[in-house]
Structure 1
Amino acid sequence: MPEYLIYFNQQWVGDHTPEWFGQRAPLAKAVVDEMKTAGVYVFAGGLEEDGPIYTADPNSGDVLITDGPYVESKEFLGGLTVVDVPDDEVAKLWAGKVAEACGWPQEVRLFGRHPDA
């Protein structure tokens, strides 16, 4: 089956209290549990906002590893979910469940074909 990426940019989250986030966590966990039960779950996780960020750049002839993002941007990935579902409609259904549980928008993208092994 095709795999889809459901994701959000951190800037879409908005300002909320720690209590608000605490109320969302069980809802998000319930959706992940529902995905596992349905057999569509591949991976889900949020990214550390202040955690280490590294860039690997091969363009100088040697791979250069540096701290921080390669391109400065106002938006950055906040978290993601990967689901293995039959089609766009089912991917959108799960994106809606994730968006409702988290309380902020999600985008859905189809992964390209897997390279032949």
Structure 2
Amino acid sequence: MAVPDGELEAVGRDAQAVIEAAKAEGVYVFAGGVDEAVPPVLVSADGAVAMGGYPWAPTLDGGFTVLELPSRDEAVAWAARIARACRCEQELRVFGTEPRSQGQGTDRDS
């Protein structure tokens, strides 16, 4: 994100407003970001731990917002809302879930 001087507070406020709108519309699943103060580690199948992430992976910049939406068109519309609020492009991905875990562990299904 390249936030112009003096706009960081407005970006935070606008981004939070989009999250609140997603919650109000019942499409919010979770949002957050990677804690850059905690370095990544690679854990192998035998439990061995090595400092650092995948050497080929780019540095993560920003956060994630996961919404449950009925169509790609609606996902694009929400991504555009987030992009306007954050003043930067958003990468849109489809998140696949393991079918047997659907509906488990969310407040929406309680």
Same fold (TM over 0.5): yes
CA shift at 1:83, angstroms?
0.5
Q: How many residues align?
A: 101
2:23 to 12, 36, 42: 36
CA shift at 1:79, angstroms?
1.1
Distance 1:52 1:75, change over 3 A: closer
The 8 Å contact of residues 49 and 78 in structure 1, kept in 2 or not, is answered as: no
Return 5+ residue gaps in structure 2 as ranges: 102-110
Identity of aligned residues (%): 34
TM-score (norm 2): 0.76
What's the CA shift string for 1:50-70, capped at 9, x where partnerless? 433222222xxx122222212
How do 1:55-74 residues align onto structure 2 when only pairs under 5 Å count? 55-58=42-45, 62-74=46-58
Whole-Å separation in 2 of the counterparts to 1:28 and 1:75 = 22
Whole-Å separation in 1 of the counterparts to 2:75 and 2:57 = 28
Higher share of residues assigned strand: 1
What's the CA shift string for 1:10-58, capped at 9, x where partnerless? xxx23654x3322210001000000000000000112233433222222
TM-score (norm 1): 0.72
Whole-Å separation in 1 of the counterparts to 2:64 and 2:81 = 13
RMSD value, Cα? 2.1
What's the CA shift string for 1:53-106, capped at 9, x where partnerless? 222222xxx122222212154442521011011010111111111111111111
Question: 1:106 and 2:93 equivalent?
Answer: no
Structure 1 residue runs of 4+, over 6 Å off?
Answer: none
Whole-Å separation in 2 of the counterparts to 1:45 and 1:34 = 16
Distance 1:89 1:43, change over 3 A: same
How do 1:1-117 residues align onto structure 2 when only pairs under 5 Å count? 13-14=1-2, 16-17=4-5, 19-58=6-45, 62-116=46-100
Whole-Å separation in 1 of the counterparts to 2:85 and 2:74 = 17
